[in-house]
Structure 1
Amino acid sequence: MRPVRTLASLSILALAAALAGAGAAAAAPAEAATAVRWTAAWSASPQRPSANFTPNWSEQGFANQTVRQSARVSLDGVAVRIRLANTYGTTQLTVTSATVARNAGGAAVRPSSVRRLTVAGASTFTIPTGAELASDPALLPVKALDSVTVTLYFAAPTGPATYHAQAMTTSYRATGNHTTDTRATAFTESTASWYYLAGVDVIGAACGRDGVVLFGDSLTDGYGSTPGADNRYPDELAERLAATGHPRAVLNQGIGGNRMTVDSAWLGHKATTRFPRDVLDRPGAGTVIVLAGINDIGMSEARQPLAAPYTEVSAAEIIAGHRELIRQARAKGLRVIGGTMPPMKGSRYYTPLSEAKRDEVNTWIRTSDEYDAVIDFDRALAWSADTHQLDPAFDSGDHLHLNDAGYRAMADAVTIPDLG
């Protein structure tokens, strides 16, 4: 994958001076380069255009249309930059115009907050096929748990769009260029996915290398939580950290249906393949929590078209995948934490064989001492009357995915000292 494009060091020096003028601590010229550090404050994993679980616009793409989408950052910053991904595009992507602003509810933005996005100073820019690109800095101060809105206008046809299927929030579309509109009036169409939006990075006093990446499948992505309420497990953990008075970057790199060992057109590259892009390349990442393997187990039993290709996956193969992720993380100096797979009795994934596999992998995670620490989601979410089943108070209804209370319990299971 091609590297993310960033500003030259001279531009970073100029930004440092601008930030000092805006109220950041002043830095001498010799110190300015080190005074500015980007940290990922929000992220989403890119996916290949597909039909997926709910209707979306990825396969058709956009032409003479504006897309408006919002994300909640987990860290304070005095400036932001936006990461856009053309990872699965079939041609180079031209962004005719783009803005970032503070969200005012739905498709509306706060008028005084609108900032034009540029790349190398140009308001129209191109992202090569297969690449990810970072915008120039935009002087938009944000606080942890603020929502920012990114608005993109595409004059020419884009072709199929790189996207993230299960945003668990609403994105909007309008005909024509409405990047600077502050009202929601023109945005008459909506979807539950993100398009091209891969990250929001910030500069701030708390920026460093202590960001926490949550890596996994739909249990990390937040399926079953209330749409638009920011109640996914990563959101709940970000809130918990912010409440301590010392917010840390928390990044959600979950993909619904993703597997440790199997690639899928709908459900993303396997975990061991996408880990470098989605975890190791995130600026400021210092710790990763891995929760993966339930789909390898369940889709070996409950075969369905979206799971293609059908592959029988053993517990040993899933454990080998965990070991590969541990190896990759440690090679980059990241602290790596293993999460046990929650109960699934009563779900379409449950059979005696699948339960035996889940138990074998969970036992290895708990007892092998190969992870730096373990978060025992299995025990935190199990029902006292039957530990093979989710606590009914946490069950979204399918006996596999969690409701808002369940995702809060997941976040509560994370021991903050284990994050490093």
Structure 2
Amino acid sequence: MEIPAGGETVSDAAPLRVAARQPVTVTLYFDRPTGPATFHAQAYARSFRADGDHRADRAGTAFTETTHSWYYLSDVEVTGGPRRPGTVVAFGDSITDGFGSTYDADHRWPDLLAERLAAAGTPRPVLNSGIGGNLLLHDSAWYGDRAGARFRRDVLDKPGVRSVILLEGLNDIGFSEVDLPTYKPNPQVSAEEVIAGYRELIALAHARGIKVVGGTILPFKGAEYHTPRSEAKRAAINEWIRTSGAFDAVVDFAEVMAAPSDPLRLNPAYDSGDFKHPNDAGYRRMAEAVDLATL
């Protein structure tokens, strides 16, 4: 089978019994070089590689190479089991993707939110649609389609979605403050433009009857792109998220993640070390901040 660049395909159904939150391993085989690979760069979970066709192997001894990225496979859809009240999509950038969390531990905040829902007796699918470096308003050669361009694919077209938690905008206001090749395009983006981007996504979701929970942008004082200008934009955007009424609900990540002595700085107890990405404890605090009743 050949899949054109930018295309996708769906496999036949596999009769595989899977328990709730049980990990699944999928083996892919390519009989010739594929060229550049579609991949999830910062998966924070291992993939295994080996030469040759090992689809029928029951042991993993041939897979001696590992990487923390996932290649080609974008979704595993599961059917059957009890009916759930609707899928939750966590939509955002590297903070949603789980950058800085422990490898192979599933300590991203969407993982921990799924655990909370199960512990509360209301288990629901929680999909992680975070992409490291993602921008709300611009496509990026490094970090993929802008949020508005991928929202249909990564939220609206997923089965059974009832709510989405939106946490985007940090990179839009931050990238313009640092001249790095990986941060291009990086035009100066106003708070009003970011808010217009939010309104676009809210309208798309509401047209499908999907709730939208707005997440305030976390503190990032000390990070490479924190400046008075980017901080002023964050403050204006967060005030709009909290007070506009445009979202169906708000989760104030900024408030719960701020340092007690400096609300502009990520709490050191929750900081992975770069002043903007949480550690495992921080991601747990983010999951705890979500009001389950709003989902």
- What's the TM-score, normalizing by structure 1? 0.69
Does 1:259 pair with 2:135? yes
Choose from 189, 214, 229 the match for 2:105. Answer: 229
Quick check: 2:172–2:186 contact (8 Å CA) kept in 1? no
**Structure 1 counterpart of 2:174, one-letter code:** G
Shift of 1:315: 0.7
What letter corresponds to residue 204 of structure 1 in structure 2? G
1:144 Cα deviation after fit: 1.6
Equivalent position amino acid for 2:43 in 1: A
Match of 2:165 in 1: 289
* Residue of structure 2 in register with 1:304 after alignment: 180
| Cα deviation, residue 127, structure 1 | 3.6
Quick one: distance in 1 between partners of 2:12 and 2:122? 27
CA distance in 2, matches of 1:148, 1:207: 21
Deviation of residue 401 (structure 1)? 0.4
- Give how far 1:182 is off: 2.3
| Corresponding residue number in structure 2 for 1:349 | 225
Matches within 5 A, 1:86-105: 94=1
The count of residues paired between Structure 1 and Structure 2 equals: 295
Tell me, in whole angstroms, the C-alpha distance in 2 between the residues paired with 1:418 and 1:154: 44
Give how far 1:145 is off. 1.3
**What's the counterpart of residue 207 of structure 2?**
331
Alignment of 1:309-324 (within 5 A): 309-324=185-200
**Equivalent-residue separation in structure 2 for 1:334 and 1:344 (angstroms):** 30
Q: Structure 1 residue 168 and structure 2 residue 44: aligned?
A: yes
Q: Supply the AA of the counterpart residue of 2:230.
A: S
Q: Is residue 240 from structure 1 mapped to residue 116 from structure 2 by the alignment?
A: yes
Rounded to whole Å, the distance in 2 between the matches of 1:356 and 1:315 is: 9
Structure 2: distance between partners of 1:207 and 1:156 = 42
Distance in 1 (alpha carbons) for counterparts of 2:159 and 2:4? 21
Equivalent position SS for 1:202: coil
Match of 1:56 in 2: none
* Alpha-carbon contact 1:170-1:192 (below 8 Å) kept: yes
* 2:93 paired with 1:213: no
**Where in structure 2 are the equivalents of 1:16-415 lying within 5 Å?**
94=1, 126-208=2-84, 210-415=86-291
Question: Cα offset for 1:206?
Answer: 3.0
| One-letter amino acid of the counterpart of residue 61, structure 2 | T
1:231 and 1:408 in contact (8 A); partners too: yes
The answer (yes or no) to whether the contact 2:42–2:69 under 8 Å persists in 1 is yes
RMSD: 1.2
Equivalent residues of 1:207, 1:284 under 8 A apart: no
**Percent identity over the alignment?**
58
Distance 1:134 1:206 in 2: 24
Partner Cα distance (2:58, 2:74) in 1: 23
> Counterpart amino acid of 1:266?
W
CA-to-partner distance for each residue in 1:179-221, whole Å, 9 max, x for gaps?
Answer: 1212222112111111111111111233456100000000000
Q: Give the Cα separation in 2 of the matches to 1:373 and 1:133.
A: 36
Larger displacement relative to structure 2 (198-207 or 257-266): 198-207
Structure showing the higher strand proportion among its residues:
1
SS at match of 1:342: coil
CA distance in 1, matches of 2:197, 2:34: 35
Question: Unaligned stretches of 5+ in structure 1?
Answer: 1-93, 95-125
In 1, Cα distance between equivalents of 2:15 and 2:148 = 36
